[in-house]
Amino acid sequence: MSPHAGQPGLDRPQEQAVRLLRERGQSVATAESLTAGLISASLAEVPGASAVLRGGVVSYAAEVKERLLGVDPGLIAARGTVDPDVAREMARGARRACAADWGVSATGAAGPEPHDGKPVGTVYLGIAGPEETAEVVELHLTGGRQRIRTESARRAMETLVEHLSRGR
């Protein structure tokens, strides 16, 4: 159960993220592949999000990851786009491109076919913080394409809330 259960407007992770970012005077940006804007959209649903959401990049194509987010083309050539280090670089790139305190990224295989040799449901979420640190969470989700995409976005918000709650 949410630590804020019963408090109006604080049960969903995106609402918690917006509240925590506002309290800290910090901002966030997104870089999304398989979620194609769902993470940004979930933040934008929250009243007051304009104070913390700097922007986002939907980087479905490898070239967009490289050009707009600064992901190393050699990394993508060697490992493909569904890779933890790609997620890490995407999060850092979103943070840099949008001049945000935090960067959140998602890349993965939503299906129906595997992608870059990774099975359907493999997802990497990147979180880049103010101290130039960046971490990756690996998920193995089940279900159809839309469920994998929406669950990835939800888990990205939960991961951001965890990092914000730790005071990092």
Report the predicted TM-score, pTM, of the whole model to 2 decimal places: 0.93
Q: What is the CATH number of domain 27-166?
A: 3.90.950.20
Check whether 8 has a pLDDT greater than 90: no
Asked whether the beta carbons of 106 and 35 are under 8 A apart, the reply is yes
The two three-digit tokens of residue 32, written as one number: 């999304």
pLDDT tens, position by position, 130-166: 988 899 999 999 999 999 999 999 999 999 999 999 8
Asked whether the beta carbons of 104 and 91 are under 8 A apart, the reply is yes
High-pLDDT (> 90) share of the chain, %: 90
| pLDDT mean across residues, the chain | 94
pLDDT tens, position by position, 66-100: 999 999 999 999 999 999 999 999 999 999 999 99
